[in-house]
Amino acid sequence: MTQGIDVVGVYVRDQDEALAFYVEKLGFRVHTDVRNGDYRWLTVQHPEQPSFQLGLFKPGPPVHDAATAQALHEVVAKGAMPPLVLVVDDCRAAYERLSGYGVEFIQEPVDRYGAVDAGFRDPSGNGWKMIEARPKSMSQESK
């Protein structure tokens, strides 16, 4: 039996706005977009990682009451949720490309811990770290 994580969700204030950001600016693809009354199950996936979906979920009914939904919107907008990590081949080139698409960075690329990383937030406030992939060492490749 195969098991694994299929979907990880983030809370967004507006699913259409989030969808446009993740598809048009970050290059993700729509995987699932299903509505059931006011509830919308919306997932996207990175084109190079088709077995994993990122859920773009709006807090509210039927999962949350109005007070909880409001609290979640506020926490996300403050950037208080744990950051997501996007691995890229060349952080500086990706920074230039995404900046050109209008992605607002909160941290320009910097060298640290043997890699290059940058930080940005989506329109809802979710934080992202964009980290340059480290080349595999010979010992890692032989495993």
Q: Domain limits of the chain? A: 7-141
Give, in order, the Cα–Cα distances in Å from 118 to each of 3, 42, 112, 115.
32, 27, 10, 10
Mean local confidence (pLDDT), 123-137? 88
Instruction: Say what the pLDDT of residue 136 is.
Output: 64
Mean pLDDT of the chain: 92
Mean pLDDT of 53-82: 94
Do you know the residue count of the chain?
143
Return the pLDDT at 80. 92
Question: Average pLDDT, stretch 72-99?
Answer: 95
Residue 138: its pLDDT value, please? 41
- Residue 82 pLDDT greater than 60, yes or no: yes
Q: What is the pLDDT of residues 34-59, one digit of tens each?
A: 999 889 999 999 999 999 999 999 99
Instruction: Report yes or no: 122 and 22 within 8 Å, Cβ to Cβ.
Output: yes
Q: What is the DSSP letter of 24?
A: I
Note the CATH architecture for domain 7-141. Roll (3.10)
Instruction: Look at residue 134 in the predicted model and tell me its pLDDT.
Output: 80
For residue 99, pLDDT over 80 is answered with yes
How sure is the predictor about 135, in pLDDT bands with cuts at 50, 70 and 90? confident
